[in-house]
A and B are shown apart, each in its own frame.
Chain A
Amino acid sequence: MRGKVLRPALAYLVTALVLLPIVWMVGTSVKPPIEYVSPVVDLLPNAPTGEHYRQLIDDGILGKMLNSLIVSFGATFLALFAGFLAAYALVRLKLPKNADMAFLLFVLLIKLSPPIVLAIPLYQVLRTLGLLDTLAGLVLVYQVYALPFAIWMLLGFVRDVPVAYEEAALMDGASLFQRMVHVVVPLMTPGLIATAVFVLILCWNEFVYALLFIQTPSKFTLPTFIATLITEDETFWGRLSAIGFIASLPILALVGVVQKGLTRGFSGGLK
């Protein structure tokens, strides 16, 4: 009986604690500067202000947001396209002996390689392609993170598509392409969406490559812009919190999808 009360109570408490930094961030984003350097515990402002949000607009935040959107969607589209084909081939098509296992180990190796290690040679790749300091270049290099992740998640979803449906379509004389478009993709839509959401978040938040490969200020993405708010003279906590909140809103809205997708995607990878 005690557990019936204690357990939920504990769960609520932990949830509140986990949420605290986010509440603080939202509070600080509307705090006047004088309040956030005070040695007193206060989460919410006494005299709320919208000045930090206004300043962000002046800083050209909308342009940075657009950059982040372009790069995230571009990279997600590319990763889903290449990742879906690869995952389908690995699960459903006859590959040379052990090729599928070798390919998966290879994906694991890529996941293991620290992004910073690849950064130096990637510089040269991007320069050769003329894609340094361009958003298209970021779309390309983000595949280092996005593609292994997409393949990993999609594998599970492809396996969930019942073979029988495809066999039935085959009997009706559907070609491979027709089966893909009319049977597999529609059946996998929830999985594709879940994967897309994940890859989107991954790319939306990416920092290292954006820091290294983008030089022109108007092409900065949100995370690299956030880093410039910590200056040598002072840290703009208000603006930092405001932009943190803005940058998080779209993905916080997706948290439900993430929760479901993660649970299914990762247990899929286990089997």
Chain B
Amino acid sequence: MAEYKKPLPAISTLNQPYWDGLKRRELTLQHCNECGKIWYPPAPFCPVCWSRNFAWQKLSGRGKVNSWVVFHQAYFSSFRDNIPYNVAEVELEEGPRLLTNLVAVDNDDIMIDMPVEIVFDDVTDEVTLAKFRPARKP
């Protein structure tokens, strides 16, 4: 695999299961067994009811574009060749919102509320990123 020069995530004891899930091609987040909340970012207990009784749950990987931006300035030299590149905030079917890049779509065709689905991008041997593309018609 060619050397990956873009920033990599800070993996901690708390969010390790999220990154492990992506590596095996599953989008997982914590689910509260008491109140049913599914949340992001990872936390030591449910941010709604403060229960510690939670489990990592596999999600559908589907959602919609809540908002998006297009970078015209190269803040990171490793993103310079991608300018202009998009960053989207995707609202998952299950509620939480993730920042991501939309792939397989022209920036001019991105719209708020556009349905999207997950694409797993293995950027290094250790890290797989959750990216999204326009949802395929069922």
Whether A and B are associated in the same complex: the answer reads no
List residues of A whose CB falls within 8 A of some B CB: none
